[in-house]
Amino acid sequence: MISPVNINDVLDGHVALEVDCVDRLYLNAYVPNLQVGGQVVTFLTAHLGHPIPSPALFQQIGNRFRREVHAFAAAQDVPILQLKKPDRSRWDDRKLDHIRPYFDRAERERRFGVVAIVSAQEFQYVFSATDRSPAPGVVRFQFTKSERRVGTYYFYMLDPEFGPGFIKIATYFPYPAKVWLNGHEWAKRQAQQANLSYTPLANGFAACPDPQRLQQICDRFGPDDVQRFFERWMAVIPRPFTDRDRAAGYFWQLSMRQVEVSRTLVFDDPRRARGFFEAMVQDNVDIGRPEKVAMVFSRPLRRTVKQPYRERLFSPGTEVHMDFSFKHSRVKQYLKEGRALRIETVVNKPADLGLRARLEHLPELVAKARAVNHRLLIIERAGQGCAIGSALFERIHQPFHREGQRTGALRFGDRRAMALASSLCLMVHAVTGFTNQSLRGQVAGLLGTDYSSSQMSYDLRRLRLHGLIQRTPGANSYTVTPEGMRVAVFYTKLQARLLRPLLEAHLPPAPPELRQALATIDRVLGAYVASARLGAAA
């Protein structure tokens, strides 16, 4: 019989390499001075010197840009590839599969530069003009942004610092652009420059003799590296804005559209990886949701959120992925090449984490995303290491004095205490924190009765004084402490996986073997009582 895998034993003794690193970045490039109609009029008249701000000027700039692209491709012997259908996918890096042969050839030849250009028709937010002329002979255009299908150029380049990447520029005013980079590829090239040897993993690292030094390299990555990439290639490829435009303040600035921050744990033996991940999935797929046992489920936490918190588990082919979502962002977990656990926090909107989108805020976003990855792993470890010890168990079962205040007990089996524990187990609370209102909705749903805001405030005070939650400085939100995670998981698992199944073990869906065993015990005890001639209790 194969003994079950305990994920804590594996993580504590069989992780050969652990690395936190920025993974893929997808950035918006926009012109701050060309966001509203009045700014467009100023650009066309005050800057370009045209007496009438006519939309025909957009076509002149766009045509010049197209001619320069074709001239650049001919001069550099770069192919221009066509995409027949518009691609509204969020993941533009899928096009890399079509460009991969060009990258491979450039890598072999150690030739850095633009390797291919892809011409496509895509939907972009660009300016449209409406004729608002009040009378004949008087020209007045109103400019508004709308989503239209326009031409775009993808410039795929092999960069000496980042490796493969691309810059996408639309051919219509105000020429929105996108930038795609990979932080792991940057770290690999930085390690090579520092003469630090490593074994590559697909989009990551499989082994390194000096993990601490490798982590220091990954920690150095920041906005300046991204900005240098953008400046370097904008000086090479054709662009619709001229040097004169830039001198007048009409040039792109970068903001974060999608940022992936990963934590990779490489096991010392690939054979452990599958058993480890299956144990982790089995132990965490329904944590905090005892009523949910299906492999695919979704449960919103706040009705006011359009993109609800949800948890999914899916299997593309033979590989299992776990996916936890919150608003526009999500956390992914999967096995990488069958030998490493990859945890990725994918932030599609920095506001989800309380941050601005400008590139200068990248370090703050990376720090918060790393904290998400770290807390998620803590919860999963707690799932198989939730024994809380007699001292802690006795403490939370008694009224407690702390900070000069007295608070009530959190006794196991009490309906309200059990509802609090189950609500704290929800993954999203560990990822984003929670408020009185968001936790109250969960507790009320589990209790099935009225549960007031004042009751929630009292329970938050109980949890905080017992050291199970802590308040976020400067905010009206809370996070679960490591001690609180252990208590919440212990209470939830003890009730949902041990006591409840045992109390209902004589009924389906309890396994037939267990029901047979209980029936045998009942029969044997009955026969023993009868043979002992013990009468019924009065």
- Specify whether 69 is located in the same domain as 117: yes
Residue 535 is predicted with a pLDDT of 54
- 353/31: higher pLDDT: 31
- Specify whether 189 is located in the same domain as 296: yes
- Of 420, 413, 405, 419, which Cα lies nearest the Cα of 484? 420
Name the least confident of 222-226, 421-425, 505-509: 505-509
- Specify whether 159 is located in the same domain as 215: no
Q: Are 230 and 167 in contact (CB under 8 A)?
A: yes
- Specify whether 18 is located in the same domain as 37: no
Instruction: State which of 89-93, 120-124, 325-329 shows the largest mean pLDDT.
Output: 120-124
- Specify whether 335 is located in the same domain as 271: yes
- Domain boundary, last residue among 331, 350, 385: 385
What count of other Cβ atoms lies within 10 Å of the Cβ of residue 500? 12
**Mean pLDDT over all residues of the chain?**
81
Determine the Cα–Cα distance for residues 497 and 510; give it in Å rounded to an integer. 12
pLDDT at residue 220 above 90? yes
User: pLDDT exceeding 90 applies to what percent of the chain?
Assistant: 43
Instruction: Tell me, yes or no, whether 538 lies in a domain.
Output: no
Pairing of strands 113-131, 177-182: unpaired
- Specify whether 342 is located in the same domain as 318: yes
- Specify whether 368 is located in the same domain as 416: no
Determine the Cα–Cα distance for residues 217 and 211; give it in Å rounded to an integer. 10
pLDDT digits (tens, 9 = 90+) for 54-65: 999 999 999 999
Question: What's the domain range around 49?
Answer: 32-174
Structure token digits, residue 246 = 């830039």
pLDDT at residue 249 above 60? yes
What's the rounded mean pLDDT across residues 106-131? 92
- Return all residues near 445 (Cβ < 8 A) that are at least 6 apart: none
- Reported as a pLDDT band with limits 50, 70 and 90, residue 89 is very low
Instruction: Tell me, yes or no, whether 239 lies in a domain.
Output: no
Q: Are 17 and 339 in contact (CB under 8 A)?
A: no
pLDDT at residue 91 above 50? no
Instruction: Tell me, yes or no, whether 234 lies in a domain.
Output: no
What's the rounded mean pLDDT across residues 28-41? 95
Residue 289 is predicted with a pLDDT of 41
Instruction: Tell me, yes or no, whether 463 lies in a domain.
Output: yes
Instruction: Give the residue ranges of DSSP H helices in 240-361.
Output: 243-247, 270-284
- Specify whether 415 is located in the same domain as 332: no
Residue 293 is predicted with a pLDDT of 24
Residue 149 is predicted with a pLDDT of 93
Count of domains forming the chain? 4
- Specify whether 48 is located in the same domain as 68: yes
- Reported as a pLDDT band with limits 50, 70 and 90, residue 502 is low
pLDDT digits (tens, 9 = 90+) for 388-436: 555 677 778 778 777 677 778 888 888 898 888 888 876 545 556 788 8
Residue 317 is predicted with a pLDDT of 46
- Reported as a pLDDT band with limits 50, 70 and 90, residue 226 is very high
Name the least confident of 18-32, 172-186, 341-355, 417-431: 417-431
Residue 374 is predicted with a pLDDT of 84
Residue 64 is predicted with a pLDDT of 96
Instruction: Tell me, yes or no, whether 73 lies in a domain.
Output: yes
CATH code at position 428:
1.10.10.10
What count of other Cβ atoms lies within 10 Å of the Cβ of residue 44? 22
- 248/439: higher pLDDT: 248
Residue 295 is predicted with a pLDDT of 26
- Specify whether 362 is located in the same domain as 417: no
What count of other Cβ atoms lies within 10 Å of the Cβ of residue 479? 18
pLDDT at residue 507 above 70? no
Instruction: Tell me, yes or no, whether 357 lies in a domain.
Output: yes
pLDDT digits (tens, 9 = 90+) for 182-196: 999 999 999 999 999
Instruction: Tell me, yes or no, whether 241 lies in a domain.
Output: no
- Specify whether 6 is located in the same domain as 65: no
- Specify whether 60 is located in the same domain as 118: yes
Instruction: Tell me, yes or no, whether 328 lies in a domain.
Output: yes
- Reported as a pLDDT band with limits 50, 70 and 90, residue 360 is very high
- Domain boundary, last residue among 331, 354, 385: 385
Residue 193 is predicted with a pLDDT of 95
